[in-house]
Structures are given as C-alpha cells and as structure tokens.
A = this chain, B = another copy of it.
Amino acid sequence: MKVCEVISVGTELLMGQIADTDAQAIGRMLPELGIAHYHRQTVGDNLDRLVGALRLALSRSDVVITIGGLGPTEDDLTREAIAAALSVSLEADESFARVLRQMFATRNLPWVDSQFRQAHRPAGAEFLDNPNGSAPGLWCRRGNQVIVAMPGPPGEFLPMLGGPVRERLIREFGGAETLHSRILKVCSLGESVVEDRLKDLLASTNPTIAPYAKPGEVHLRLTARGDASLLDPMVAEVRRRLGDSVFGEDADTLESVVLALARDRGWKLGVAESMTGGLVGARLTGVPGASDTFAGGIIAYTPAQKVGLLGVSHEVLDGEGPVSSACASAMAEGCREQLGVEFAIATTGNAGPTADVDGKPVGLTYVAVATPDANHVEEFKFRGTRDGNRTRATQAALTLAYRILRG
C-alpha cells in the first residue's frame, strides 16, 4: 500500500486563525483510494522549515500533498521549497504566463507583476488546472514519488482534490484493494466497557474496528479492505454483543434516532428543561424534518415557572426541591399535559459553578421520561464545568429517551 503525507502551509494555520478543513478532506478521501496516511505536518510561511518538512516527508512517503503557499505574494513559498527539496531549478513558463495575463484580462482584474510568480514551476513539474483561481497546482514527479501542490482556499482546493487529483492518484498510486467503512454508534456504555466486550474483535485485521469516544457516546469505525461485504458479519457480531446500545450507524445521531422511534409509534414529543435551558430542544430541532414529531417545549428555569408553566406542585418544590427525582417526574408529566404530547423528556439539576440555594451539590442531575404508560427517572452526579455538566445532562436525557423508546 502506498503512503501519503500531507503538509499544510501557512502561518495563519499555526496561529489558529483558520481550521484546516483541506487536510480533513484529504483524510476522508484517502482510505477509499487504498492509500495509507500516517503523518501530517503543519508549517508556517518559512522557506527553510518548508523545505525541511518536504525532505522529511519524501524520506518516508510515496505521495506528498502540500496545501497552500502558491499565491502571488512573497510569503507564498511552496514553489521555491519544492524546487529546493527536489534539488531542481525553478523555471518560468512563458506560455503559461500568457494564459495568466489572458485570465486576468477576461476577468477585469488588475495585473500586477507579482502574479508572474504563479507561472513558475520546479523543472520537470506539470501544472494542474485550477478552474476557481489564478494559482495553478503542481504535479512534481521524482522517480516513484510525487509531490502534489494545491492552493489553500477551500473553494479552489476541494474541486481540484475531488476531481483530477483524485483520479490521477487512483491511477498512479491507488491500492488494488479499496477501503470500505461503516460507523456504528453506541450510547449507555463507556469506551472501556465497549472495548472489553469486543476485545478479540479489535485484533481483527480485515475488517478492522477502531473505537472513538465522544461525550456520552462511543463510535466504532469498521473498515474492510477490498470487499465491502466483509463488513456485514462483523457489524452483526458487534450488534449482537452490544445489543440496543448500538443506537445507529453513519449519519444517525442520538436525536435523529429518538425522533424516528417516536415517529414509528405515532407519538408526538415534547421537552421540559430546567438545567439544560433549551439544549435538548435545540438538538432535537437540529434534525431536518423534526417538526412532524417534535411539538415543542417549556424551559422552566425558575421554581415559579415550574409551577406556572408545568404544574409542578408546591409540595414537591418545598419538599424534595427543584433538583430532585420527584421534580423531574412532575416536569415530564406536566409537559405531556401542557403540550398534549405522548412522550416528554425533562431535565433538572445544578450545573454549577456553585451549590444551589437548597444546598444541592454541583453536578447533581435528574433526567426523566414520561410516556402514556410510565414515568422513568435517572440520577447522575456529574463532575465538571457548567458547560460540561449541561452537555452531559442533555446527552443523558436523550440516552434515557432512546432506551425507553427502544423498549
């Protein structure tokens, strides 16, 4: 299998001013081309460091893709650096210079002489057409290796990458065996428990399984070489071992699955939020088409609103208090009544940063789900920042909703 390395060029990347979405796009593309990807380097607009990065990449990779540094200004140094790394001269291409001048004329753009830098190429390199900008890409062969240079603006980079560069990489460097991936998404189980149950499978080499932890979820990427149907028995086995904790695949989200399960039952869904202040509603309404199932919600942040908007009793508020199992239940039940929905999700808790007036500690959280048949509550003691606790409470509420709907 050939190996590709990415070099992202630009001081603005090191300064964190922009996200490196170009490099992400390469990363997503390479597996299906059957090309391996082990290293990415990011360097600023500095000739010596860029030459160093290119030499290091050429010492260990077959394909080196550079992003950026091909513009007309003096801090665009990728052409010079490639020539230096390959120990060849940088040559002006007069016929391409004429094409450039023509392009500027037809677009009514002022020509400044620095544009002429873009008509230079390392000796032996080919220009790659850039239909969305003035800086062409470069395809620089050395023996069995290639350096592919493309401009950084995503509007120019992405069409070149996904079009001609992709085709040519497949032809000249692609693996005989294409890679196929599926992602299984897991809730209710921690990463180490998932890994424990799949221990022997994680040693499998085709397909491979890679776990990746997200807040409150574990994603499992299953990747097969050559034959996509190799994935099916592995997916079935993972599902058998993890059961309903596998809530979805690929583009599914916990909220999209919750909505789909409620829709299947013909149920409308509502939320009653205190601690999460709208986050549960925001996630559910982030799903396109949510409005056929998600009716609405009530953010009852103060005790008075829990009484006024949700009908929580004074007994509960004065007794167990607003941060309690009884209050979460009453909120969910009140939401069902006020909104006239079958299924309600409620949250209450103390997100922090300090203990609340009742002395309930930071992180103490109750999530409840009410259905036509029953009321379910869970208690959590989170330990984190205000933001972190609110995010965890949201995830816990959706997880409980999923488990109840799955039955």
Which residues on A are within 8 Å of B, measured CB to CB? 11-17, 19-21, 23-29, 31, 37-46, 49, 53, 56, 71-75, 103, 106-110, 112, 114-115, 131-133, 153, 155, 159, 190-193, 195-196, 202, 210-215, 221, 271, 273, 276-282, 284-286, 288, 290-291, 294-302, 304-305, 308-309, 338-340, 352-353, 379-388, 390-391
List of B residues within 8 angstroms of A385 by Cβ: 131-132, 155, 159
Q: A153-B215, A296-B309 are in contact. Are A14 and B38 (CB under 8 A)?
A: yes
B352-A288 in contact (CB<8A): yes
Q: Kindly list 10 other residue pairs between chains A and B, CB separation below 8 angstroms, not including A109-B190, A281-B299.
A: A14-B27, A14-B40, A16-B28, A19-B19, A19-B24, A41-B41, A72-B191, A281-B301, A296-B309, A298-B309
Write the nearest CB–CB distance from A153 to chain B, whole angstroms.
Answer: 7
A72-B42 in contact (CB<8A): no
Interchain Cβ contacts under 8 Å between A and B, 17 examples: A16-B29, A38-B49, A39-B49, A39-B53, A74-B195, A106-B381, A107-B381, A109-B190, A110-B190, A155-B387, A155-B388, A271-B299, A277-B286, A278-B285, A285-B390, A296-B309, A298-B298
Q: A11-B210, A383-B107, A384-B131 are in contact. Are A277 and B288 (CB under 8 A)?
A: no
The docked-state distance in angstroms from the alpha carbon of A15 to that of B73 is 32
Q: A19-B19, A192-B115 are in contact. Are A285 and B296 (CB under 8 A)?
A: no
Partner of A74, one of B202, B212, B309, B338: B202
Write the nearest CB–CB distance from A134 to chain B, whole angstroms.
Answer: 9
Q: A107-B380, A286-B387, A301-B294 are in contact. Are A191 and B71 (CB under 8 A)?
A: yes
List of B residues within 8 angstroms of A388 by Cβ: 132, 155
List of B residues within 8 angstroms of A21 by Cβ: 19
| CB nearest neighbor in B for A218 | B73
Write the nearest CB–CB distance from A276 to chain B, whole angstroms.
Answer: 7
A42-B43 in contact (CB<8A): no
List of B residues within 8 angstroms of A153 by Cβ: 213-215
Q: A24-B19, A192-B72 are in contact. Are A39 and B31 (CB under 8 A)?
A: no
List of B residues within 8 angstroms of A391 by Cβ: 155
Write the nearest CB–CB distance from A38 to chain B, whole angstroms.
Answer: 6
List of B residues within 8 angstroms of A17 by Cβ: 27-28, 212, 221
B20-A37 in contact (CB<8A): no
Partner of A39, one of B29, B42, B133, B214: B42
| CB nearest neighbor in B for A276 | B282
The docked-state distance in angstroms from the alpha carbon of A18 to that of B12 is 19
| CB nearest neighbor in B for A279 | B282
List of B residues within 8 angstroms of A221 by Cβ: 12, 15, 17
Q: A38-B44, A155-B388 are in contact. Are A195 and B278 (CB under 8 A)?
A: no
The docked-state distance in angstroms from the alpha carbon of A352 to that of B291 is 12
List of B residues within 8 angstroms of A115 by Cβ: 192
Write the nearest CB–CB distance from A163 to chain B, whole angstroms.
Answer: 10
Partner of A278, one of B297, B380, B386: B297
The docked-state distance in angstroms from the alpha carbon of A294 to that of B277 is 10
The docked-state distance in angstroms from the alpha carbon of A12 to that of B159 is 23
The docked-state distance in angstroms from the alpha carbon of A191 to that of B382 is 40
| CB nearest neighbor in B for A284 | B277
| CB nearest neighbor in B for A43 | B39
Q: A155-B391, A294-B301, A295-B301 are in contact. Are A15 and B31 (CB under 8 A)?
A: yes
